[in-house]
Amino acid sequence: MNTLQPQRKLDSTEEGLKRGLQARHMSMIAIGGAIGTGLFIASGASVAAAGPGGALLSYAVVGIMVYFLMTSLGEMAAYMPVAGSFSTYGAKFVDPSFGFALGWNYWYNWAVTIAVELVAAQIVMSYWFPDVPGFYFSALFLLLMIGLNYFSVKGFGEAEYWFAMIKVVTVIIFLIVGVAMIFGVFTSEAPVGFKNFALGDAPFVGGIPAVIGIILVAGFSFQGTELVGIAAGESEDPKKNVPKAVKQVFWRILLFYVFAIFVIGMLIPYTSPNLVSNDITDVAVSPFTLVFEKAGLAFSAALMNAVILTSVLSAGNSGMYASTRMLYTLARQGDAPKLFAQVSKNGVPRNALLATGAIGALCFLTSMFGGQVYLWLLNASGMTGFIAWLGIAISHYRFRKGFLAQGHSLSDLPYVAPAFPFGPLFAFGLCFL
């Protein structure tokens, strides 16, 4: 292992990027990465498949795993904030070939995710404009994502801040309205209490196999939380901002996922046919839409469609940023063509950005070959995300062991991940499974 040297606090990084992300950007990047269509759409299908108790257990288990992953990443990123994040850590703390593989895997992960989200944007926009060809919207949003990342890192940071803010406000309103409805407010029906948790085979439906199946769905839903590790390389004060963002992740996961699943399970029976589908083409089956409609909120479907569009654009915007920085880092390390290591005066690796945007244009293949291409892209995105998490767990285990072996003490670290070595070992085991 190479000697560990922390990154100095500078306005610009040694690689030529700009430290333009403030504490508020970092916090919203951490929370925005976890809130998406997985919560707004797939959560209903999770309750239908495993029951309210099974869905709660599944999301709680994955939430604990993601917490440990984030603390592992936070410990490394606060000490050594670089744009390559776990690709650099994998090369430095495990093996150069391991870092090479992690870097290309993660670039591919998010570049393909851009294509997935652009297809989803087509579907969402068809709600309002059913007669307009979807590829027009894909082209428009692809140009928007490139534009937000083209001029400076602050463009990405500000866009992600407001995208995430919309999602956060929506979930908070949902939780307030949902809890009130549980006690009989906003509805003419009697308070539901826990009757839906005692309905039929509830709270656990389908046993252990169903819980394991929903763990996989929950894992896909949480992917994106690791973005704070990539953004650490351009944070104004990573030693302060990264630990702050990481510490908030657990409580946000608890609030925005576990509590939301609880409210959905309380208000909507798992036997409801509306919960069976997790198809983004039908916003009417979103459990958020169903609850808002029960509360008498007019235009709830249109409102949730707009929020889901925000989530899609947020994921695409984040994907453009993350994959661009990863390709740039690979080029600097000699693992990709040097062309992608060039940066503009504002510290943006524009060649890497345009190359990533070209991969995002794979979304146009769905217009030619139909939904099968979308499923290929979606599955590739999900699997590569789990591989990236696996790499974080391995890298952190090696980092901590090597750090102490070189005579350092934990007090030298800006942030210390709790429950070592259980945390990375638990995360590794679950991701591997």
Tokens linked to 136: 């027009």
Single out the residue of 129, 127, 93 nearest to residue 301, CA to CA: 127
Cβ-based neighbour number of residue 265 at 10 Å: 27
What domains does the chain contain, in order, with CATH numbers?
A: 23-432 (1.20.1740.10)
Whole-number Å distance between alpha carbons of 330 and 336: 5
- The Cα 96–Cα 290 span in angstroms is 50
* 433 residues of the chain, pLDDT tens digit each: 455 554 444 455 555 677 667 767 777 776 776 677 778 777 888 888 888 899 999 989 988 998 899 899 989 988 988 877 778 899 999 999 999 999 999 998 888 888 888 887 887 888 888 898 888 888 899 999 899 888 888 877 888 888 888 888 888 888 998 888 888 887 767 777 778 887 777 788 888 888 888 888 888 778 888 887 777 777 777 888 888 878 777 777 777 888 999 999 888 888 888 776 555 555 656 788 888 888 887 778 788 888 888 888 888 888 888 889 889 989 988 999 999 999 888 888 999 999 999 888 877 776 666 667 767 777 787 788 889 999 999 999 999 999 999 999 999 999 999 999 999 999 999 988 8
- pTM of model > 0.85: no
SS3 state of residue 235: strand
Let me know: does 62 contact 218? Beta carbons within 8 Å. Answer: yes
CB count within 10 Å of CB 222 equals 27
Number of Cα atoms under 13 Å in the Cβ half of residue 328: 26
Phi, psi of 173 (to 5 degrees): -60, -40
Residue 287 CA to residue 265 CA, distance in Å, equals: 10
Assess contact for 122 and 141: CB atoms under 8 A.
no
Which residues, 6+ apart, have CB-to-CB distance to 10 below 8 Å? 19
Q: How far apart, in whole angstroms, are the C-alpha atoms of residue 76 and residue 86?
A: 9
Contact 120/366 with Cβ under 8 angstroms? no
Residue pair 319/388 in contact by the 8 Å Cβ criterion? no
* Separation CA 289–CA 297 (nearest Å): 9
For residues 309 and 123, what is the distance between their CA atoms, to the nearest angstrom?
Answer: 9
Cβ-count burial 98-117 (b if 16+ within 10 Å, e if not): bbbbbbbbbbbbbbbbbbbb
User: What pLDDT, on a 0 to 100 scale, did the predictor assign at position 10?
Assistant: 43
Which amino acid does the sequence have at 336? A
